[in-house]
Structure 1
């Protein structure tokens, strides 16, 4: 067996991952954020090499009898296993790159992985350690439903909807951490693993029963095309400036969009207002238009006539876009 030899310390960013390599093959480490993607490097000896063999990726346990199969690729036959199904793939064997790409990374994905390449000539074994950082320190989970009402999105709709609000569908781990931080929501929403769940901190009759325990209520995995639910989105730390645009008059939706453009910005998205509220303690008791046609305002200091009992992003609704009853929140991205 021929192992990949490491000569110097290297730091690279690859497909959302950072990896560091030292003189020992076993010390190769990839770091990524919770809910993100990770690329675990593994290559043939030369990009000119032709591949006619087998690639196996395994998650290695302390007791090797408990190892988990991740992926097997034998050219025409490819398979992923267990929790890695539909989340694992290879970069490009045609150019000698057997690196493993994992999407929607969870805390359970942390650990040691082994790549084995058998091509009939030179066999290669490479081990990589995956470390997952809790992205909630740099983001916020929020529940979302569109203007046409609750329980109207299949999984693909949910993915597109979160993306349209500068966010991504939240992972189970992200929702769990948000629940620990106090998120309580009695409407079920999609998560990135295809399950449908909702977080309850204060058990009550309409939300799983008054005598039930606090926690995440799960509907399990649902048909991604046929089932309809809300969604939990995850917004990362802002890369720009979220602000209330001071205007002499209240605006219609179209006027709000134009006012932000005139200020060299864009009308803010729901992901922006949640990130500003949670991560920057943004607080303003003025209801303003957002890009999805909703009207909301962020309160980090509860007080009378604003949000008397809790810090929250308050939701006014999806009013008629022609009414001139609200201001606007804008967002200017970093240059």
Structure 2
């Protein structure tokens, strides 16, 4: 239930409703109807202040989502054509990226949001927007601002994505990437640099990794579920270890990448013999596909529950395989994507994981039920990698 109080004339209040849906849960009727309570207070100067409880809305790449925002203005006879609604995205660096603006019947979207954002317009006082064909870059915090002549107020919505965090380093070895290179390698593997919140959530779900990596905000961190001397000290508490904000050009670490739902399918190409990297690429091409990227394999493991106890080439030249149901002969007692490193592309022979993109990239309806969630542990059978 939304609880509101209104003070004074020509005051505009923006009320944010947020659904807090964990990645591993099905969306129930109760959760669909849950709304965050918004308290509107008046300070000594008579100004109206909006306070919203923290929350988030959750979707996945390729889906669509409503960022909820409502407002009330007095007197009720105010001209709706003079109400200005503006949505912006707020980055960790406190920079504002224009998303959408509406004044009466006039509407405009900006940048990467063009053609994907529209006003929900569900009756008087609705400033909610719908974002279609969600991308990885849409993740983050959004500001809803409503202006009536000289009065304005704002509310915030956090957009979260279902997905998986995975550590990454290139063929050159560990601790070879500055911040900008880390951004690039994640993008090359169909991912983005993970946020602190995404890494923390992955740690809660079991991610344990002993090598520090860049995050989206320019900090360097790593998650430890099982403290040990080679990873900071055995007597130190478990948690996400934080090196703080590092020099983005001069310092080098690994990367923690984040990816979400696939617009396609990853599969192990069945062949009678194992092949070199170049032969693997040709085999996928003949099958109407391409060699899968690392992020695509992780997404397939997490979303499609891909389970295959056969090592295969990936696009970056690494050899990996996904395990949902652990068994002794498949690399250890925990689920994860096993990593066998970067062998010689010409002379080492393996299978191959291919990726075939969907013909149509239609967004799935919000009633789409999430697949069974599994741990986001990324491992090759050992915890100290």
TM surpasses 0.5: yes
On the 8 A contact 1:25/1:127 being kept in 2, the answer is: no
Secondary structure at the aligned position of 2:303 is classed as helix
Deviation, structure 1 residue 282 = 1.2
**Which residue pairs with 1:252 in the alignment?**
276
Secondary structure at the aligned position of 1:217 is classed as strand
On the 8 A contact 2:203/2:240 being kept in 1, the answer is: yes
On the 8 A contact 1:184/1:202 being kept in 2, the answer is: yes
**How many angstroms apart in 2 are the aligned matches of 1:330 and 1:245?**
7
The 5 A counterparts of 1:87-126 are 87-90=95-98, 106=140, 109=141, 114=145, 123-126=149-152
1:132 aligns with 2:158: yes
1:218 aligns with 2:218: no
**How many angstroms apart in 2 are the aligned matches of 1:218 and 1:130?**
27
* 1:85-138 residue CA offsets vs partner (Å, 9 max, x unmatched): 353244699x997999997755xx57x75566xxxxx94444443322442xx2
What RMSD, in angstroms, separates the aligned Cα atoms of the two structures? 3.6
Segments of 5+ residues of structure 1 without an aligned counterpart are 7-15, 27-39, 44-56, 60-69, 71-82, 117-121
> Normalising by the residue count of structure 1, what TM-score does the alignment of the two structures yield?
0.69
- Are the structure 2 counterparts of residues 101 and 175 from structure 1 closer, same or farther at C-alpha, using a change threshold of 3 Å? same
- Are the structure 2 counterparts of residues 233 and 5 from structure 1 closer, same or farther at C-alpha, using a change threshold of 3 Å? closer
* 1:235-292 residue CA offsets vs partner (Å, 9 max, x unmatched): 1011111100011111110111111111111110000111111222211111100000
* 1:279-306 residue CA offsets vs partner (Å, 9 max, x unmatched): 2221111110000000101111111221
**How many angstroms apart in 1 are the aligned matches of 2:279 and 2:73?**
59
Question: Aligned residues, how many?
Answer: 266
- Are the structure 2 counterparts of residues 168 and 100 from structure 1 closer, same or farther at C-alpha, using a change threshold of 3 Å? closer
Counterpart selection for 1:166 from 166, 185, 190? 190
On the 8 A contact 1:195/1:219 being kept in 2, the answer is: yes
1:42 aligns with 2:80: no
* 1:176-225 residue CA offsets vs partner (Å, 9 max, x unmatched): 00000000000000000110000000001011110010000000000111
On the 8 A contact 1:4/1:124 being kept in 2, the answer is: no
- Are the structure 2 counterparts of residues 263 and 170 from structure 1 closer, same or farther at C-alpha, using a change threshold of 3 Å? same
* 1:28-66 residue CA offsets vs partner (Å, 9 max, x unmatched): xxxxxxxxxxxx9529xxxxxxxxxxxxx9x9xxxxxxx
**Which residue pairs with 1:24 in the alignment?**
72
- Are the structure 2 counterparts of residues 321 and 20 from structure 1 closer, same or farther at C-alpha, using a change threshold of 3 Å? same
- Are the structure 2 counterparts of residues 247 and 196 from structure 1 closer, same or farther at C-alpha, using a change threshold of 3 Å? same
Structure with larger RCO (C-alpha < 8 A, sep 6+): 2
> Normalising by the residue count of structure 2, what TM-score does the alignment of the two structures yield?
0.61
- Are the structure 2 counterparts of residues 296 and 123 from structure 1 closer, same or farther at C-alpha, using a change threshold of 3 Å? same
**Which residue pairs with 1:85 in the alignment?**
93
- Are the structure 2 counterparts of residues 89 and 17 from structure 1 closer, same or farther at C-alpha, using a change threshold of 3 Å? farther
Deviation, structure 1 residue 5 = 12
**Which residue pairs with 2:205 in the alignment?**
181
**Which residue pairs with 2:288 in the alignment?**
264
Counterpart selection for 1:290 from 314, 337, 340? 314
- Are the structure 2 counterparts of residues 208 and 96 from structure 1 closer, same or farther at C-alpha, using a change threshold of 3 Å? same
Segments of 5+ residues of structure 2 without an aligned counterpart are 1-8, 15-63, 75-83, 114-136, 360-385
- Are the structure 2 counterparts of residues 41 and 195 from structure 1 closer, same or farther at C-alpha, using a change threshold of 3 Å? farther
